[in-house]
Amino acid sequence: MTTMTDAALAEFKMPDVGEGLTEAEILKWYVQPGDVVTDGQVVCEVETAKAAVELPIPFNGVVQELRFPEGTTVDVGQVIIAVDVAGGSGSADAAPAPVSVSVSVPEPTAPEPEPEAEPKGRQPVLVGYGVSEASTKRRPRKGDVVAAPAAVTEPAPEPQTPAKGNGRPLAKPPVRKLAKDLGVDLASLTPSGPDGIITREDVHAAVAPALEPTVTPAQALLLSPEPVAVAPAAVQDGVRETRIPVKGVRKATAAAMIGSAFTAPHVTEFVTVDVTRTMKLVEELKADKEMQGLRVNPLLLIAKALLVAIKRNPEISASWDEAAQEIVRKHYVNLGIAAATPRGLIVPNIKDAHAKTLPELASALGELVATAREGKTSPGAMQGGTVTITNVGVFGVDTGTPILNPGESAILAVGAIKLQPWVLKGKVKPRQVTTLALSFDHRLVDGELGSKVLADVAAILEQPKRLITWA
């Protein structure tokens, strides 16, 4: 959203980065007044009610003014940054324009040369590859002493990351972090993604031999998004209460949960099941060459079991249209995975999960979890869900009574998998056991239908060969 106030000044407004969002909080500015920016360069990061999103600017120029400081909540449509588009040509003899500063920023110690070329690897997308290190340069401020033109020493070329072809390897931020954590040189990989983009699977494939499991099935818990450790805020001695503003993801979650709890009549059913055979299958799949480089864990098979159960009972994939007084049957499954992040609970979903093979589902699940941990989940990834899985087992608890994600018909809670005494063929033996809980909207789902779905999931996890016979 851009407004031209005169021939030289362009204003960039806060866009609607989701569907129907009305405001966003400015988390971080990547530029300051006096910086040169280029078309497609990310200038700030904002947090909406659904996700953190990087905003690229749609023109070249010199930053004149930041209208709001970091931490400010801004309505959609308000101007957040003004850019002098006439001063962005990079001409060496152009006189510096006056800079209006609304945000306190440090003055530069010395002016730097303006860039002669556009940054490499930048794509004008809402959630992109991040800010290139050399994508902003400082202009001389008004009042600085401007000497006569003199010889300028050519700066030493910035070392380039080795890559196949020209430029640095293309990869999304979560993939870059994964490669860094695993010690993988992106330039050494052969991209398998579209347009030469390196994918998470490429990185995993490079280190697959070194990623052998170190825990046994008896020690393993479900591996959905692990809880993120967040350091508690410092508390001064003598302070008995602390007030925290409700905004962003927390505000949206609160409104959604209240709306769901007091709109959809919830029913929750429980079942305890022996998943020993499923845990053995997980270990076998980890050694399968078709699954190499993919993240294989119990959550993957639980997700597949739920998809098969929905295929056998398709009426559960539906939503309630209050305005039209209609039940909308959905002939697809967008499978949500509840994820705990530093910003709060989010529920991104895997689009058309019902149509994916097991390797495809594993790949999509791994990408979803990694992106959520990085805080880069897009608003679109959290829209249109049909059913959700929430894994409370990672916290060591047995189960819970989950609240429906608004607009969805059911949510499956999975408890911790533990060794427990279990009667098998008339004898008590130690078995891997977990408890499942299925909450559903009783306007859409009768007790019989909900019970069938939960029973089918349990039956598949007890005898995973049903993934084949029932698929």
By annotation, the residues acting in catalysis are 442
Mention every residue, 6+ apart, whose C-beta is less than 8 A from residue 314. Answer: 329, 331
Q: How far is it, in rounded angstroms, from Cα 392 to Cα 145?
A: 63
